[in-house]
């Protein structure tokens, strides 16, 4: 749990520091193009979740964040031994969820600033907390898939040693 807390704290600090710096340097909706027609820094206030869904429902989004933190801890981490990838995944998830939760509670909105356009599609502007959450979820999905794959392979291997465990007691 200490490793998860450390990763979470690092993510949270980087997220909050980046938002504070951006708010002091940029005006709302100000954009600086880094790579034309691909990447820019744009300071926006997101009062919703991804793609601004549920905009204006800060109390609901705060409750979802708190519930997510509780469920993540209670069902996946509490009293369980986790491996390195899971520690990183959970640390990223906690850091990201807390980063956006702090914004919602203190500011009333989430500060977003990474602004990408890929193949003429303008993605919703996002932040470091969002990146942490996405990477954390992807790593967990890979862990789950690898676990299921390993479990399925071990089920498919027939035991042919004539032991009691495979139901063959040694007589016909």
Distance from C-alpha of 41 to C-alpha of 119, rounded to nearest angstrom: 18
Cα–Cα distance measured from residue 55 to residue 45, given in angstroms and rounded to the nearest whole number = 11
pLDDT at 29: 96
User: Residue 108 above 80 pLDDT?
Assistant: yes
**Nearest-5° angle of CA 129, CA 131, CA 13?**
35
Catalytic pick from 15, 103, 115, 130?
130
pLDDT at 144: 83
Is the confidence at residue 31, as pLDDT, over 60? yes
Residue range 144-169, pLDDT digits in tens: 888 754 444 455 555 555 554 555 44
Residue 115 falls in the annotated catalytic set:
no
Indicate if 103 belongs to the active site.
Answer: no
pTM: 0.80
């Amino acid at each position: 749990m200490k490793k998860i807390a450390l990763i979470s704290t690092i993510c949270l600090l980087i997220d909050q520091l980046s938002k504070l710096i951006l708010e002091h340097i940029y005006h709302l909706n100000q954009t600086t193009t880094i790579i034309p027609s691909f990447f820019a820094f744009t300071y926006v206030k997101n009062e919703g979740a991804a793609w601004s869904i549920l905009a204006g429902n800060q109390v609901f989004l705060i409750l979802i964040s708190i519930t997510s933190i509780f469920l993540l801890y209670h069902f996946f981490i509490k009293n369980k031994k986790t491996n390195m990838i899971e520690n990183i995944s959970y640390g990223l998830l906690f850091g990201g969820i807390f980063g956006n939760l702090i914004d919602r509670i203190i500011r009333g909105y989430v500060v977003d600033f990474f602004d990408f356009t890929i193949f003429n599609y303008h993605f919703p502007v996002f932040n470091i907390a969002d990146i942490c959450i996405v990477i954390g979820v992807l790593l967990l999905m890979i862990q789950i898939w690898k676990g299921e794959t390993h479990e399925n392979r071990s089920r498919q291997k027939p035991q042919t040693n004539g032991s009691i465990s495979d139901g063959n007691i040694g007589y016909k």
